Chains A and B, each alone.
Chain A
Amino acid sequence: MNDTALVRRRGSGAFSSRDYIRRRFRDIPTRLNENGVDQFGFDPEFAAKAGPYMGWVYENYFRVEQHGVDNVPDGRCLLISNHSGQLPFDAGMITMAVFLERTKPRICRAMIEKFVTDLPFVSYFMERCGQLIGTPDNCRRVLEAEEAILVFPEGVRGINKLFHERYQLKNFGLGFMRLALETKTPILPVGVIGAEEQAPSLANLKKVAKLFGLPALPITPTLLLGPLGLLPLPTKYRIYFGEPMMFEGDPNDEDEAIEQKVQQVKGAVKQLLERGLRERKHIFW
């Protein structure tokens, strides 16, 4: 094994080193056009600049511990995970785990919400780092290019969970399963432990949020700290990657038939969460 493929271990400070990040990016097979971006605007050079900061958060803030990242297969793949934490740090940390710690680095494309394209700076930051708007057409195109997609079937229902609802999976959408059947894509269940406590939300002021055109307005005790309260608590993240699951069937089947398959995936994510909760001793370390 040569040096570039070698995965550094935690604690070495490697994950926030510019050199390590650059070398990992070099090992990713990305199809760049003559303008230095891929078809969705992913720019490895831009991402390599942002990488060390994300790596620092990964290693020192959330002190992420991953289990089974090498279960992520080569080729097309759908990562299905629980979603929580008010701000989507879970997406960032799963992406970083696959990028930093998989033997062969990969980029997961997370599906972002439509309203993000309306936000200045965030919109293009996300795009240059490889994220894209979660429309079915975009997913199909990415999977056909043999890339990995990270999907949170709970959607906004999940990320805005209240504190007492932590680790309870909300309803899963059916779209991801139809897409997987249509494109013959393996599904990899992922369980994230820790994000559910990073921003304990006591209430979600939906009506006020609507007034300001926001998707949600969570009220957390940390808001007493002012702007600092927007930062998530430094909980310890544990990310569990399950075994790939392959489904067969008609993508245009009745909802009930699709729902059955979705329940299998939901069950797998739930098992990962239960295992994680059993294994952890403390929320913060």
Chain B
Amino acid sequence: MNKPDAPIIMTGIAGNLGRLVMSRLHRHHKIIGIDRRPLGTIPPGVQHEQVDMRRKKAQDIFRKSRAYGVVHLGIMHDPRMSDKEHYTWNVVGTENLLDYCAQYGVKKVVMLSSANNYGPMAGSSAYLDEDTPLLGSFAFPGIRDLVAVDRAVSSFFWKHPEIETVILRPVHIAGARLKNAPSNYLRLKAIPHLLGFDPLVQLVHELDVVDAIAHALKPGVRGIFNIVGPPAIPLSKLLHQLGKPLVPVPHIFAKPLWQTFYNLRLSSFPAPEWDFLRYELLVDGERAKRELGYEPRRSTRDIINLFRPAEAMEPEFTPSAALGALSALTKSVKKRMAQKPEPHAPPHGPVDKLDLEPSGDE
């Protein structure tokens, strides 16, 4: 078995999430990145190999490096790519990677899957745990290969009990530059949603996912973990706080319409994605908290701030803004001084204790 100070191999290092994980890990670990894409500026302690996991050259990297761990982020999900490309890249690539891990004494395998593999469905229980079957591909055939990858890594647990295998199943990851469906959706200029449906949604900030991956690399940790962010929020509340125009779509038209849009390349969202806006898919993150020591640190507001249009952002501190705020303050103080106190104050305090929504979108 290779030692904990041996390097860590990262697939998909050149992706947006990959770069974030790299910048978190490279201070403590030597990193070898495997990605077909170029990495750009390479920080010290990082070695980048532009190799395809399906090629023999990937095996050489494992043989030579004697790596301690593998962080497997190199999963492709591009609806425009062919099924064959998806299958060979994701499933064959992952199986090769697991073979090399077993062969060359890797101690730890961390794989980033997704809670979307459970699948949004009418009438499913809230807060699914990690033992829930992965039924996501029933209604969304485009993610069959992602479910297959999760299953392949799950069966690796009992094939190689000496290797600490970790599967992370985060909820929708929200990131400023991420190109996944939820981030693309929240970045739209006008946001379509289903008329008459308002499911609770769970999102997690990209940096929280990076935290979870760092936790998963700790020696002794193994298992499957749902990774959640701040508490669930009704989709409507989330969209209203974004401050963008909303386009309600009746649910009978949504899927056929979007299938046409998608075929005509007017939209990048395949029609089955609508199910995520219609049904609830909530997962329970207790196990990650208990066994992984992971807790989300970014709030709903942090996530919303990633996607708000520039003019709606909270004003930055500038001298003129400070002056403006000061004059507004003096005005309101003067106004209050001029007012007489109310003769009969309500005895039970304000009845509006129920106004729980954060006041206004400043």
Tell me the A residues contacting B by CB distance below 8 Å: 3-4, 19, 22-23, 25-26, 32-37, 39-41, 43-45, 48, 113-115, 117-121, 123-124, 127-128, 132-133, 135-138, 141
Contact = CB atoms under 8 A, between A and B. Distances in A.
Contacts of A37: 200, 232-234, 237
Interface of B: 122-127, 194-200, 230-234, 237, 250-251, 279-280, 299-300, 348, 351, 353-357
Contacts of B200: 37, 40-41, 127
Contacts of A119: 196
Contacts of A132: 126
Contacts of B357: 36, 45
Given A34-B230, A39-B232, A114-B123, 18 more contacts: A4-B348, A26-B353, A33-B232, A34-B231, A35-B231, A35-B234, A44-B354, A45-B354, A45-B355, A113-B123, A117-B279, A117-B280, A119-B196, A120-B195, A124-B196, A128-B234, A135-B123, A141-B126
A26 to B, nearest CB: 6
A115 B196 CA distance: 15
A36 B354 CA distance: 9
Given A35-B233, A41-B232, A117 B122 contact: yes
Contacts of A35: 230-234, 237, 300
Contacts of B351: 19, 22-23, 26
A39 B147 CA distance: 27
B279 to A, nearest CB: 6
Nearest to B237: A35
B283 to A, nearest CB: 12
A39 B231 contact: yes
B279 A26 contact: no
B126 A40 contact: yes
Q: Give the 7 A-B CB pairs with smallest separation, nearest first.
A: A120-B196, A114-B123, A33-B231, A124-B198, A137-B125, A35-B233, A36-B356
Nearest to A2: B348
A257 B301 CA distance: 52
A117 B199 CA distance: 9
A114 B279 CA distance: 11
B237 A25 contact: no
Contacts of A128: 198, 234
A34 B299 contact: yes
Contacts of A33: 230-232
B116 to A, nearest CB: 18
Contacts of B194: 120
Contacts of B237: 35-37
16 contacts: A3-B348, A33-B231, A34-B299, A34-B300, A35-B230, A35-B231, A36-B357, A39-B127, A39-B231, A48-B354, A114-B122, A114-B123, A124-B198, A133-B123, A135-B123, A141-B127
B228 to A, nearest CB: 11
B179 to A, nearest CB: 26
A113 to B, nearest CB: 8
Contacts of A45: 354-357
A135 B125 CA distance: 6
Contacts of A22: 351, 354
A275 to B, nearest CB: 36
Contacts of B196: 119-121, 123-124
A133 B125 contact: yes
Contacts of B348: 3-4, 23
A115 B123 contact: yes
B33 to A, nearest CB: 37
A119 B194 CA distance: 12
A32 B356 contact: yes
B122 A138 contact: no
A138 B128 CA distance: 10
A166 to B, nearest CB: 29
A248 to B, nearest CB: 27
A117 B123 contact: yes
B230 A115 contact: no
Contacts of A40: 126, 200
Contacts of A34: 230-231, 299-300
A121 B197 CA distance: 6
A48 B353 CA distance: 12
A17 to B, nearest CB: 12
Nearest to A48: B354
B231 A25 contact: no
Contacts of B124: 133, 135
A25 B126 contact: no
Contacts of B356: 32, 36, 44-45
B245 to A, nearest CB: 21
Contacts of A115: 122-123
